[in-house]
Amino acid sequence: MLPEDTIHAFLKARSLAVVGVSRNPEKYGYKLYKTLKEKGMRVFAINPQATEVDGEPGYPSLHALPELPEAIVTVVPPDVTKAVVGQALQAGVRKIWMQPGSEHEDAIHQAQQHGATVVYGGPCIMVVAKTYLR
């Protein structure tokens, strides 16, 4: 089980970017984005092919955001996670949650070497948010 202090550190983030958000309400990336927004979190949508998600602006990359988020959640293939984690660390993001299936071993080690809090191997942040955020 994930330590509670790690969970709280992520859920207290002032802003969070979901990398791999979808415009399709049936897709997991959309459901995750929507749940975090409904729980009151300030969430940015990152998808290079979505200029709008759920009535909010979509951004093609982390660098295109209007501000640097405190945390990122990856919902993308592992190779994309590796690239995004490198960009996030270089920009100064130190909270990274890799959704199950998006984990990349090199990205995990790189994040840890930079002193980032990195969650991988489960659980799903959407499940955690539903439990801890009311």
Domain boundaries, the chain: 4-132
16: left (phi over 0), alpha (psi -120 to 50) or beta: beta
Percent of the chain at pLDDT above 70? 99
Tokens found for residue 39 = 């729980």
Contact yes or no for 11/104 (Cβ under 8 A): no
Query: What average pLDDT does this structure show over 29-55?
Result: 94
CB atoms within 10 A of CB 89: 19
Distance from C-alpha of 50 to C-alpha of 45, rounded to nearest angstrom: 8
- 17-21, 38-42, 126-130: which has the minimum mean pLDDT? 126-130
Phi/psi region, residue 51 (left: phi>0; alpha: psi -120 to 50; beta: rest), is alpha
- What is the model's pTM? 0.94
Which pLDDT score, from 0 to 100, does residue 4 have? 82
Distance of alpha carbon 99 from alpha carbon 118, whole angstroms: 11
Q: Kindly list the distances between the CA atom of residue 107 and the CA atoms of 43, 67, 86, in Å, as whole numbers in the listed order.
A: 22, 23, 7
Give the pLDDT confidence score for residue 27 in this predicted structure: 95
Task: Give the confidence band of 1 by pLDDT, cuts at 50, 70, 90.
Answer: low
Query: CATH class for domain 4-132?
Result: alpha beta
What tokens were used for 63?
A: 């660098």
Q: How far apart are CA 59 and CA 50, in angstroms?
A: 7
Distance CA 78, CA 69 (A): 21
Res 9 pLDDT > 90:
no
Q: Where are the beta strands (DSSP E) in the chain?
A: 16-19, 43-46, 52-53, 56-59, 71-74, 95-98, 117-119
